[in-house]
Amino acid sequence: MSSQPPVIILVETQLAENLGSVARAMANFGLIDLRLVNPKVDINDPKAVAMAVGAVDLLRKATFFSSLSEATADLTHIFGTTAIIRQMVKQCYTPNACVSLCFQNPMWRVGLLFGPERTGLSNEDLSLCYGVVHIAVEPDFSSLNLGQALVILAYEYYLKKTSPKEQFLQIGETMPAPLEQVQYFLSNLEHKLDQTHFWRADYKKPIMWRNLRNIFTRMDLTEQEVRTLNGVLDVLSRKKEP
């Protein structure tokens, strides 16, 4: 799976919109191989094309099969998706666990199966699966849209593949401010507050000034932002015209 993205197999899909939204989500997350087992709608249906947006090519390259066995003949492991866990002896995985397992086994050629919208995968189709992927949802509103279920699995695949940074500061053309610049701003601020008798009573200053420093030191300021704040400070503290 690290070399080959999972194949997406839709069984007896009933709504054209879902063909389109599946194709679009596949393109968003780097999946390319779409297989359709006895679809009940046409991939050229205007609703499918409209929902696919720029992924129409991916949709048009979908391949057609008359049985699940034919659609999965070249694969080594297939996982069925279900919202409801049936009474069946089957290994169940979260999307994350399923994708992790596949990346741990790069020789696997994996297929992800999605059943008809109204009924989901049949127990017969599920019995052909190596495992089941179960997306945890609210028990009293457990019917996930096909395109929504697909996008969650595609998203988990892409997360594992790309391991994006969990958090970062996006700062455009400026740079994080060195502390001496922040310190210069703080000295400037303290000086101006001293001049305007902000502290009211001298004994109050240490705590008030500590609280103010806390505000500015946790702000992740950039060099440009420190310059801007110094400018704001200078203008605000300028002597009023008489």
Distance of CA 207 to the CA centre of its chain: 43
225 belongs to the binding site for a copy of itself (CB under 8 A): yes
Nearer to a copy of itself, 24 or 109 (CB): 24
231 belongs to the binding site for a copy of itself (CB under 8 A): no
Nearer to a copy of itself, 67 or 123 (CB): 123
Residues 6+ apart with CB under 8 A from 200: none
41 belongs to the binding site for a copy of itself (CB under 8 A): no
3 belongs to the binding site for a copy of itself (CB under 8 A): no
Cβ 59 vs Cβ 49: under 8 Å: yes
CB atoms within 10 A of CB 49: 19
Q: Which of 46, 54, 178, 231 binds a copy of itself (CB under 8 A)?
A: 54
Q: Which of 9, 71, 78, 151 binds a copy of itself (CB under 8 A)?
A: 151
Which of 51, 156, 137 minimizes the C-alpha distance to 99?
156
Q: How far is the CB of 168 from a copy of itself (least distance, A)?
A: 6
- The overall longest dimension of the chain from CA atoms, in Å, is 89
User: Are β-strands 77-82 and 34-37 bridged in parallel, bridged antiparallel, or unpaired?
Assistant: unpaired
Q: Which of 8, 27, 34, 113 binds a copy of itself (CB under 8 A)?
A: 27
Cβ 80 vs Cβ 129: under 8 Å: yes
Q: Please state, in angstroms and rounded to a whole number, the distance separating the CA atoms of residues 240 and 214.
A: 29
Amino acid, res. 42: D
Segment lying near a copy of itself (by CB under 8 A), choices 68-76, 151-159, 187-195, 230-238: 151-159
53 belongs to the binding site for a copy of itself (CB under 8 A): yes
Which of 11, 27, 5, 35 minimizes the C-alpha distance to 146?
11
Segment lying near a copy of itself (by CB under 8 A), choices 62-70, 140-148, 197-205, 233-241: 140-148
Q: How far is the CB of 53 from a copy of itself (least distance, A)?
A: 7
Nearer to a copy of itself, 128 or 159 (CB): 159
What residues between 76 and 95 interact with a copy of itself by CB under 8 A?
85-94
What residues between 175 and 214 interact with a copy of itself by CB under 8 A?
none
Cβ 12 vs Cβ 37: under 8 Å: yes
Q: Please state, in angstroms and rounded to a whole number, the distance separating the CA atoms of residues 31 and 49.
A: 18
Nearer to a copy of itself, 45 or 190 (CB): 45
3-state secondary structure of 196: coil
Residues at the site binding a copy of itself, with contacts judged by CB under 8 A: 17, 21, 24-25, 27-30, 51, 53-55, 85-94, 96-97, 132, 134-138, 141-145, 147-148, 151-152, 155, 158-159, 162, 164-174, 220, 222, 224-225
